[in-house]
């Protein structure tokens, strides 16, 4: 399968660190590209040491292996003229260059788009920033939590009395990496059909705006009325009852859709509560449902909900998801290795010609491909 991957032979030089840029590079690598990661001599990408727990894999973090598997590494001093000269050979022959430094840094290093284009006219050059390349926020640190705070998205999760609630994932970084991959692939098509390279840029704030496109469109067109989150069992700032997450006798259930009169029949909810306005009085309806749903187990409720076409699901933790077998059935878990490294991680969430691409290669040792600085690709 690896010989048939659509990006086989594509040469990607990745100057980026942490998550957004490397996530884009990971997607390209999984599709067959040869990704060479440019790291600082002696230290490397700081995410090598960004530990999420006390688990270390060969002295490195799990997050570094998750985001940088299936890549190679060159270790250079970007302030050294000799190292920059050796790196220039790789820059000249790269099909794609990625970077996520603050605006102006790559230009000062001599590897900005305009400089690179002079020696590699058809290069596809991708950039991720925090807030764009100009404007009032250009010099602010481009970090996921801070971008969430500035985007408005924190007022969409949680309930009315919770204050702003951050998403528990680096959603801006992941979305920015995905958006950059979309742009890179579009420019690669243009390069293949017209022999024209190009420059694609995205930012954390742009992808967070795009994430909210449905709700922002509503806000733009309904008099800029700020949505009021439900106080009880919240799940969506705009949607009516019963949409929410509810406690049961032994866990929790999420309910997305279902006629309130049918839910009342199944759960024993009082008809006068079920007859309330599902938008204006959603908290009263949810409170009534919540009281009823605590009386039975999640499995018991799910049997009735499935039988009556109520759209609901048990709220699972990771143990439950893995035990269900769904990830194994979809072939979404793989083993990766490198010397004394052996660990599990996820795979690309795509199948190509019926097969999910995979590679057993763990994240690279720092500078494992430094020979390329002498020989080229």
Length of the chain: 377
Query: From CA 75, how far away is CA 371, in angstroms rounded?
Result: 10
Maximum alpha-carbon separation in the chain: 79
Query: From CA 155, how far away is CA 308, in angstroms rounded?
Result: 34
For strands 96-99 and 60-61, give the pairing.
unpaired
Of the listed 30, 144, 173, 283, which one is catalytic? 173
Residue 225, SS3?
coil
Residue 358: how many other CB atoms lie within 10 Å:
18
Is there a contact between 242 and 169 (Cβ–Cβ < 8 Å)? no
Query: From CA 36, how far away is CA 82, in angstroms rounded?
Result: 19
Is 81 part of the annotated catalytic residue set?
no
Is there a contact between 269 and 289 (Cβ–Cβ < 8 Å)? yes
Sorted by sequence, the CB contacts under 8 Å of residue 338 that are 6+ apart come out as 58, 361, 362, 363, 364, 365
Closest CA to 24 of 169, 201, 213, 205: 201
Cis peptide before 124 (omega within 30 of 0): no
How many CA atoms lie less than 13 Å away from 78 in the CB half-sphere? 17
Instruction: Kindly write down the DSSP assignment for every residue of 274-334, as one continuous string.
Output: HTS-TTTTHHHHHHHHHHHHTTS-HHHHHHHHHHTT-EEEE---HHHHHHHTHHHHTT-EE
* Catalytically annotated residues: 173
């Amino acid at each position: 399968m690896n010989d048939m991957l659509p990006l086989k032979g594509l040469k990607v030089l990745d100057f980026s660190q942490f998550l957004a840029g490397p996530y884009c590079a990971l997607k390209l690598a999984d599709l067959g590209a040869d990704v060479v990661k440019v790291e600082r001599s002696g230290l490397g990408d700081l995410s090598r040491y960004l530990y999420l727990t006390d688990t270390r894999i060969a002295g490195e973090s799990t997050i570094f292996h998750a985001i940088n598997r299936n890549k190679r590494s060159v270790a250079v001093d970007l302030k050294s003229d000799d190292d920059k000269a050796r790196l220039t050979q790789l820059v000249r022959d790269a099909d794609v260059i990625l970077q996520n430094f603050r605006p102006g840094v790559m230009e000062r290093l001599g590897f900005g788009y305009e400089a690179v284009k002079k020696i590699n006219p058809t290069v596809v050059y991708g950039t991720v920033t925090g807030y764009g390349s100009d404007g009032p926020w250009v010099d602010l640190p481009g970090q996921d939590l801070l971008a969430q705070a500035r985007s408005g998205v924190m007022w969409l999760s949680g309930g009315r009395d919770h204050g702003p609630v951050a998403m528990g994932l680096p959603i801006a970084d992941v979305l920015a990496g995905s958006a950059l991959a979309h742009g890179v692939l579009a420019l690669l098509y243009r390069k293949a059909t017209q022999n024209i390279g190009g420059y694609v840029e995205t930012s954390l704030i742009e992808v967070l705006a795009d994430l909210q496109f449905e709700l922002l469109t509503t806000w733009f067109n309904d008099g800029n009325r700020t949505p009021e989150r439900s106080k009880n069992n919240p799940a969506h700032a705009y949607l009516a009852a019963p949409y929410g997450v509810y406690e049961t006798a032994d866990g929790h259930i999420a309910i997305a859709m279902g006629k309130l009169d049918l839910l009342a029949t199944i759960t024993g909810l009082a008809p006068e509560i079920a007859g309330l306005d599902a938008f204006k009085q959603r908290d009263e309806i949810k409170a009534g449902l919540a009281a009823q749903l605590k009386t039975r187990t999640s499995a018991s409720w799910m049997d009735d909900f499935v039988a009556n076409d109520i759209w609901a699901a048990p709220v699972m933790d990771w143990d439950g998801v893995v035990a269900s077998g769904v990830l194994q059935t979809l072939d979404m878990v793989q083993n990766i290795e490198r010397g004394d490294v052996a660990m599990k991680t996820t795979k690309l969430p795509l199948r190509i010609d019926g097969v999910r691409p995979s590679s057993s290669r763990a994240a690279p040792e720092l500078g494992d491909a430094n020979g390329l600085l002498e020989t080229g690709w």
